[in-house]
Structure 1
């Protein structure tokens, strides 16, 4: 099982890569992507890239619900556990 903190760092790195204007912004696990200005298409790109790095293949509909980056990381961590 992947550590949620490690997954949080992967998500933040993917946000910075997908949305270059956020490269220098402080981003934490308690931030919501929408509040950071990440639109739904960019959010999908971030999640897909993160899942690829984690070796996960799960339907996006299973990833609705988390309200911030930390909750998303925790959910992905449970998915990596199998």
Structure 2
């Protein structure tokens, strides 16, 4: 059995991290929105949660794009 090459392992690991960040960001954002509505928090806290979620999604998008570009470079596209 061949040992997997380090680069595909790194890309797979980064892909899993991106998936976890996307799922975690969404769950935390939903929880903060529900908790804020239940406890009557001010709107500025909802906007703060929105900005944090947007930052998490942008980070995930950038990392996903970098993974895609490395895969393209390896294939020679």
Which structure has the higher relative contact order (CA within 8 Å, separation 6+)? 1
- TM-score, normalising length from structure 1? 0.33
